[in-house]
Structure 1
């Protein structure tokens, strides 16, 4: 039998964990964001066993716990990757990554990629990861092979269906979904960041910070976004060839997004369509709402508390029978 102290500690710990869940925040546009720990990376990156609970890494990747995850060093013919262990299954999300592309040479390459694909942790020829991928790839390409009239570094998105091949000789031009030039993204004087925001069937937007702090440049945006696999792993990879650079991931922040205004607006429109009925509509808490969450929390703690009291009463009764 457990001692009463252990059961009491278990009860308090369970309540503390449940009550301490991050409920996120809501911005002025009514978009509520809830952090996803499973797809977030911050120093020191690794646990006491020198492993990451939520990410795998390989190739030439080196992790310096106080500073960066270096996908490749500034040396030729290197490649490295880091991928989430669990898929990103949120319907709407925002991924913000801080990174650095830097080196000493005037000639440099090749760049790094951000992935949301069915495949994971598979080295290959596309910025250090596999070709013929299924999902979305965002390429931060620093070396120009053959794209006349295009200013490099160039940031480009490609949507793979499992059969398309990335044409490295022409910097992926034939299969480009959207993209933008980002001169100054390498050896930048400010922290370089990319923010990818996705609302299923509604929008996809990529913004980049590299000119000034808190100044976001719109790279591309569409109201007809591609379909991203429902099971897609978040990853980053990089490669160097004859030319090289340091490709560092500093941090990754992923959030689940929820449009509160859209939900309220839908409810309001539904109520307005029944204009003849002027009676107030009774508000019902739906499963998944915060009211329902706290109700379940109180119920959960109540059950544990009742069990604890019953157990202590049983112990006291049993002790009294001994005399």
Structure 2
């Protein structure tokens, strides 16, 4: 009877071990990039962040957000990574919130940057004009009559020589765009950027309607980021204004290629819930440990019984 139980226990250990290995293999394409991630309380005891610089009118509420601009006129704020992203393939997921007291009139918006230069304030959503890299603009105010509604999200690829078409809301610069009602929502609003250097594919997904419901905003091909690209967030207000908040930034390197994305020309691969996966792996590892301890005790008890006999 003891031998049968012992055999079943060893089988359970083998199954649990195999489960841990399978889950590890399934999840090995996503690895956290701490140098480009940021969470509350955002700053240390020296009132700084090890991996990000903030400035201009940006303010930090350690329990809530990094506020790039407050709901006041003529503000400009920024948040920039101190180090460039060197990974060939990566994903940036960020939670943001845009809201204010404006009734019908609010603006101007915020931007996410992957650019060669950093921390240079200017007129393009708080960053410099004639930038080199990619800017993704979350625009909440129409500077001219447009055929689409606002808020509006668009991407521009800057070559360092081309100016942003501010008078026409970037119409001359758009390489990817979508209408998105991301302002003043009751659920966490998020964006998720994926980039694969070899294929030059960049995608943007947005969560604006309900929790964990992601919708693709655009997909770009043949995008070549500068070899040195910093991650930045900037915002600007003028006569119209809003609170522009960054709540969290989670960046991961993607060790696998863009093969999974190519399965469908418009739909990126399903996002793995890395937190759940790691939790399951932890539970499985604990199960293996407990099973091994029990197996050892059973083996020792069986040995003692034989000696007494």
Q: Does TM-score exceed 0.5, indicating one fold?
A: yes
Q: Which runs of 4+ in 1 moved over 3 A?
A: 25-28, 260-263
User: In 2, Cα distance between the equivalents of 1:113 and 1:192?
Assistant: 14
Shift of 1:66: 1.1
In the TM superposition, what are the counterparts of 1:33-44 in structure 2 within 5 Å?
33-44=30-41
User: In 2, Cα distance between the equivalents of 1:173 and 1:219?
Assistant: 17
In the TM superposition, what are the counterparts of 1:96-175 in structure 2 within 5 Å?
96-106=93-103, 107-175=105-173
Shift of 1:261: 9.9
- 2:196–2:258 CA contact under 8 A, matched in 1: no
Aligned-CA RMSD value: 1.8
2:225 is aligned, of 222, 225, 228, to: 228
User: In 2, Cα distance between the equivalents of 1:137 and 1:251?
Assistant: 19
In the TM superposition, what are the counterparts of 1:269-280 in structure 2 within 5 Å?
none
In the TM superposition, what are the counterparts of 1:1-323 in structure 2 within 5 Å?
32-106=29-103, 107-183=105-181, 185-202=182-199, 203-222=201-220, 224-259=221-256
User: In 2, Cα distance between the equivalents of 1:187 and 1:26?
Assistant: 39
- 2:196–2:257 CA contact under 8 A, matched in 1: no
Structure 2: stretches of 5+ with no match in the other structure: 1-22, 261-309
> Using a 3 Å threshold, how does the CA distance of structure 1 residues 47 and 132 change in structure 2: closer, same or farther?
same
User: In 2, Cα distance between the equivalents of 1:261 and 1:233?
Assistant: 22
- 2:133–2:229 CA contact under 8 A, matched in 1: yes
Give deviations 1:49-76, integer Å, cap 9, x for gaps: 1111011111000001111000000000
Structure 1: stretches of 5+ with no match in the other structure: 1-24, 264-323
User: In 1, Cα distance between the equivalents of 2:251 and 2:44?
Assistant: 20
Shift of 1:31: 6.6
**Alignment length (residue pairs):** 236
User: In 2, Cα distance between the equivalents of 1:138 and 1:228?
Assistant: 13
SS in 2 for 1:177: strand
> Using a 3 Å threshold, how does the CA distance of structure 1 residues 76 and 34 change in structure 2: closer, same or farther?
same
User: In 1, Cα distance between the equivalents of 2:108 and 2:121?
Assistant: 15
User: In 2, Cα distance between the equivalents of 1:94 and 1:31?
Assistant: 14
User: In 2, Cα distance between the equivalents of 1:261 and 1:115?
Assistant: 22
Shift of 1:262: 6.1
